[in-house]
Amino acid sequence: MKIAVEGCAHGELENIYDTIQMTQEKHGIKIDLLICCGDFQSCRNKDDLLCMAVPQKYQNICTFYKYYSGEKTAPVLTIFIGGNHEASNYLQELPYGGWVAPNIFYLGYAAVINIAGVRIAGLSGIYKSKDYNKGHFEKPPYDENSKRTVYHVRNLEVFRLKQLTGNVDIFLSHDWPSEVYKHGNVKQLLKRKPFFREDVEKGELGSKVCEDLLHQVKPKYWFSAHLHCKYAALVKHDNDSVTKFLALDKCLPKRKFLQIMEVSHDDKAKMDISYDLEWLTILYLTNHLLSVKGTNVYMPGPGTQERYNFAPSEEEKAHVLSRFDNDLTVPKNFVKTAAAFDPGAPKTKPKPPEPVLNPQTVLFCDKLAVDDPVSQASENDGTQMDQSIASLTASFIDDTIENDSLNSSQLTPLKRLNLSLPDPKVEEEDKDMFDDSAASVEENEKSQEENVKSEEKDSSLAKVEQSRSEDAKEVEEVVMACDSPTPKKLKRRNIEMYQNDE
């Protein structure tokens, strides 16, 4: 399975898909899956923009609405986690994951899914200690505080992920795990991003909860974004397994925001998303731990009289499987819950959205017998939710999406290109095996300096780059910078928006 991994999307969905298409044509390959590591910005309309924690001048509608409205269809199966620049009201409709548009799937607050035998886990949001132990109390319309706390990671999701026992192939987080930088070329990182030095020296670069998950889950690959630079590392665990870590940049010209890699999969299986049985069972067993209050709630642990180990038994998993009628395939049941942006419509003043029941969540919660956090939070304060779309639930379960994305049988077979990463080595000299060649590093540093000094003046998207590591000649990787056949001027965003604190 060939996977394209994207750093921060920041709403540039058209440019990302254009880059993938050009890469496929240039290298004679077929990309099976696109993974985005947060700041996806699934804004359907101007109302959604009010729910993004960014200054008003950066509330740009971008291009997601075209895929939501049906004007365009995502050309490759896309999955993503949330970051800290999101239309949080829309994502809150899907706390356990769901389709935000045909062929584009959000993982929810946290989730584990399977695609053709590849097990993928993800954690949305960023870590803030002051909110970590709170419940999911936020719901639209947000005030200036809840607009930001809504995307802060909570202990419930981390606790649930720590219950996993099976092998995980890929883990996604927006934050970097703290101290992961120690397992790569730190000197090179600080040369590219000198303002990281203070956080590195204080041991504050990255998320401690992600570091804990990294060493407990021990996935084969871990992908992150948020800090807007490409960085690779090899993390050796106490059982001698190794995680290949890679962070990527945001989608802007001359930035390394996309990585193509190949992962072993079941070539006889369809490229469909399936629920993970162990994860579903963990959700089912821990539903009573869900809190929708803005006060601290702590997870059970050793020394308490209640259950704290929720690694599911075979009997518990069998019960959950029966609730899904022995079919864990995620239904293609996308439904619009708000109007899509219309560029030709008369301009109207956007208004803060109200909480909405999404039929996908209604169906999921009914099947698994778990609670919807937003629904619970609304009931908690007496808010009336818009239930007009909930009646759609009964009819759409067996529906299929019209004009669904092309599958492998509809595509012309393309020449295969070996993009496999090698088995990781743990020798000291191999820690930089994913780094660029010296020439590529110099080019990247020059590009970084230009972006800091002035706004991007090159309106065309940079050419697709391919670099080979000198330390591991067998590694073949394709590293893309933004490239599009349609010139588009993109301005450098306010650097303060993207600093590590928010």
Give the pLDDT of residue 310: 98
Confidence at 381, pLDDT banded by 50, 70, 90: confident
pLDDT at 31: 97
Q: Tens digit of pLDDT for each residue in 442-453? A: 333 344 444 433
pLDDT at 463 over 50: no
The residue extents of the domains of the chain are 2-498
> E strands along 175-264, which residues?
221-224, 231-236, 242-247, 256-262
Torsion of Cα atoms, 337 then 343 then 347 then 352, to 10°: 30
pLDDT of residue 382: 75
Which range, of 78-87, 93-102, 380-389, 422-431, averages the lowest pLDDT?
Answer: 422-431
Q: How confident is the model at residue 387 (pLDDT cuts 50, 70, 90)?
A: low
268 residue type, one letter: K
Q: Which residue has the higher pLDDT, 353 or 254?
A: 353
Residue 420 has pLDDT above 60, yes or no: no
Its CATH class, for the domain covering 2-498, is alpha beta
The pLDDT of residue 58 is 86
pLDDT higher than 90, residue 479 = no
- Counting residues of the chain whose pLDDT is more than 90, the rounded percentage is 73
pLDDT tens digits, one per residue of 286-311: 999 999 999 999 999 999 889 999 99
Once rounded to an integer, what is the mean pLDDT over residues 113-118?
Answer: 98
Q: What is the pLDDT of residue 284?
A: 98
For residue 412, what pLDDT is reported?
A: 28
**Residue range 225-279, pLDDT digits in tens:** 999 999 999 999 999 999 999 999 999 888 999 999 999 999 999 999 999 999 9
- Is the pLDDT assigned to residue 202 strictly greater than 80? yes
Regarding pTM above 0.85, the answer is no
| Nearest Cα residue to 20 out of 474, 493, 405, 421 | 405
3-state SS of 326-392 is CCCECCCCCCCCCCCCCCCCCCCCCCCCCCECCHHHHHHHHHHCCCCHHHHHHHHHCCCCECCCHHH
**Residues contacting residue 168 through CB under 8 Å, at least 6 positions apart:** 112, 119, 120, 121, 217, 218, 219, 220
Q: In which band, very low, low, confident or very high, does the pLDDT at 323 lie, cut at 50, 70 and 90? A: very high
The whole-number pLDDT of residue 383 equals: 72
- Sequence length of the chain is 502
Work out the average pLDDT over 191-197: 95
Q: Supply the mean pLDDT for the chain.
A: 82
Pairing of strands 242-247, 273-275: unpaired
355 pLDDT tier (thresholds 50, 70, 90): very high
User: Which two structure tokens, joined as six digits, stand for 356?
Assistant: 């909405």
Mean pLDDT of 96-106: 98
For position 88, what pLDDT does the model report?
98
- Residues sharing a CB contact under 8 Å with residue 418, sequence separation 6 or more, in sequence order: 262, 476
Per-residue pLDDT band for 502 (boundaries 50, 70, 90) equals low
